[in-house]
Structure 1
């Protein structure tokens, strides 16, 4: 038989190997053995620790995308919370700033009202507190409108002052409001007195209706200098004496003129006035005082007359009582005389 026809395959016993059932039983027995050995003798603990140590970098590498995603989400959520907290803080800051400004405004307003009340108590002239509503829309004059009128007792020509000094004069009166012409109006004028030299003059409003005054018709050699305080003289019969009017800002003496050019700064900042005090004119106050004095004198005279009349009546009654007593005595003496006879 030629060699090429020989069957060189292994016998069936070596070609098939152990059966599947045998393999299953072997694997099951090995698993039970390993579990028992691990439970009783801890044989696989070092092996498990070694495998965990070897696989830890791989595990961290595989978890890095998940950790990065979680960290990015936490960052975004933190940014949102921080921005929301910043917005809330900004709102609270704005509210606190508004409250602080309102508190400062109320404090300043209370201070001005206290000053007005002090001035009202110091002056012996009837007065009325009012509030400035708005400035009159007239480019050729300087006027403000107040919230009191004839219904509240405001009179035409009444002086208007603040805690700082004279503001102006009432020029128009309505039922529930009135117009006040400021001292800085170009047609306004007020007699003033230099508190340093006691020299009198007249202050006029600025020619351009700006917030300034001028002291006109003062001699070039007059004793006046920057910083002098000017107050009301009381000669016009409108303003009480001693109220601050203005301060001398600049004095210009020119050789070609016999009068000095004197610029004044008003004592009252006319653009920031809110509360004012309306006074009765001095002439009206003097007339009212004279009428009150006359009424008091008439009342005193009538009281004296009534007192004299009562005294005369009392004397007459006393004389009549004495006459009756004497008559009763005489009547008592006559029967006694008749009995003696």
Structure 2
């Protein structure tokens, strides 16, 4: 005989446990706590490194079919370009050889003049080659990931270049990879020098400017001696980038009568997107930086007292 379901009383449809609002509040509080703890105490940094190390082989395996398809499609096109480039290289070989000899002579003369003037010798930077694995899918940040990390000796803060100029800076290092923040990122700033005038400035990343340049010189006076087409190089005053590295070129200058500063838009020389091979430059050693001048402390001194003359007997 079937059991009467209503014999035990009216069934309740009330959910067991805390309400949905209480659970939502607990989840929000836990999320805020984890975010604050990660920012303050870096609690998830070891976990992030472990996950990146585990996922790196999977990312590499998944990228191989894509690279194979791209390489097969562009093989014949690259072959024709390589043949044309070989012909052009042969034509320019004689001119480049003459220019190399001239540069070597000027380099020796520069070294002698620096020794005569007792100037600080130029810093020689070393680096290691790396390959860009992928670009981060973030609309607000401009970053790429390379296939070298702590195992290869990559350090945080190392400048990164391609064959044309400075590309960015290493901002996060993992055991087998590293993250490079490009110069066009909003959080990036680099001290630059105009070799034509010797003026120093700071270039900030601006990926969405009106001229597509990607960088902007801020706080430049309206009467500053700058021109469109001027080359900007690293000044070396920050102790991160070696001096003389090509950075960008000025593409547009806006001088307004209602503002004491001009808006200067720049185009990076390096290829921000699509580059495959880069050079990671070693950070400058601390002993290579110019010493800071000592700070003079002024002491308050009272009026000088004249010594008393003794009486003659």
Give TM-score, length-normalised by structure 2.
0.54
2:163 counterpart residue number: 163
Alignment partner of 1:260: what SS?
A: strand
2:76 counterpart residue number: 100
Alignment partner of 2:221: what SS?
A: coil
- Show CA shifts across 1:177-217 (max 9, x none): 00000000011000000011010000000063865100001
1:136 counterpart residue number: 136
2:43 counterpart residue number: none
Deviation at residue 106 of structure 1 after TM alignment:
6.8
Alignment partner of 1:103: what SS?
A: helix
Alignment partner of 1:100: what SS?
A: helix
C-alpha distance in structure 1 between counterparts of 2:131 and 2:84, whole Å: 15
The answer to whether the Cα contact below 8 Å between 1:125 and 1:285 also exists between their aligned partners in 2 is no
C-alpha distance in structure 2 between counterparts of 1:148 and 1:185, whole Å: 21
Mark the runs of 5 or more structure 1 residues left unpaired by the alignment: 1-95, 112-117, 288-341
C-alpha distance in structure 1 between counterparts of 2:239 and 2:285, whole Å: 5
The answer to whether the Cα contact below 8 Å between 2:161 and 2:168 also exists between their aligned partners in 1 is yes
C-alpha distance in structure 1 between counterparts of 2:287 and 2:184, whole Å: 26
Higher RCO structure (Cα 8 Å, ≥6 apart): 2
Q: Quick check: which has more Rg, 1 or 2?
A: 1
1:185 counterpart residue number: 185
Q: Residue 217 of structure 1 is aligned with which of 209, 216, 219?
A: 219
Mark the runs of 5 or more structure 2 residues left unpaired by the alignment: 1-71, 90-99, 101-121, 290-313
Deviation at residue 108 of structure 1 after TM alignment:
11
Change beyond 3 A, Cα 1:107–1:233:
farther
- Measured on the aligned residues, the alpha-carbon RMSD in Å equals 3.2
Q: Residue 236 of structure 2 is aligned with which of 234, 237, 244?
A: 234
Q: How does 1:202-281 map to 2 (within 5 A)?
A: 202-206=202-206, 208=208, 212-281=214-283
C-alpha distance in structure 1 between counterparts of 2:173 and 2:73, whole Å: 40
- Show CA shifts across 1:10-67 (max 9, x none): xxxxxxxxxxxxxxxxxxxxxxxxxxxxxxxxxxxxxxxxxxxxxxxxxxxxxxxxxx
- Show CA shifts across 1:243-281 (max 9, x none): 110000011000111000000011112112111000111
Question: Which range is displaced more, 205-214 or 147-156?
Answer: 205-214
C-alpha distance in structure 2 between counterparts of 1:161 and 1:107, whole Å: 27
C-alpha distance in structure 2 between counterparts of 1:205 and 1:107, whole Å: 38
Deviation at residue 170 of structure 1 after TM alignment:
0.1
- Equivalenced residue count is 185
C-alpha distance in structure 2 between counterparts of 1:270 and 1:123, whole Å: 26
Change beyond 3 A, Cα 1:149–1:258:
same
Deviation at residue 126 of structure 1 after TM alignment:
2.4
C-alpha distance in structure 2 between counterparts of 1:283 and 1:276, whole Å: 21
Deviation at residue 162 of structure 1 after TM alignment:
1.1
The answer to whether the Cα contact below 8 Å between 1:135 and 1:144 also exists between their aligned partners in 2 is yes
2:194 counterpart residue number: 194
The answer to whether the Cα contact below 8 Å between 1:158 and 1:170 also exists between their aligned partners in 2 is yes
- More helix by proportion, 1 or 2? 1
Q: How does 1:1-341 map to 2 (within 5 A)?
A: 99-103=75-79, 124-206=124-206, 208=208, 212-284=214-286, 286=288
Alignment partner of 2:229: what SS?
A: coil
Change beyond 3 A, Cα 1:171–1:105:
farther
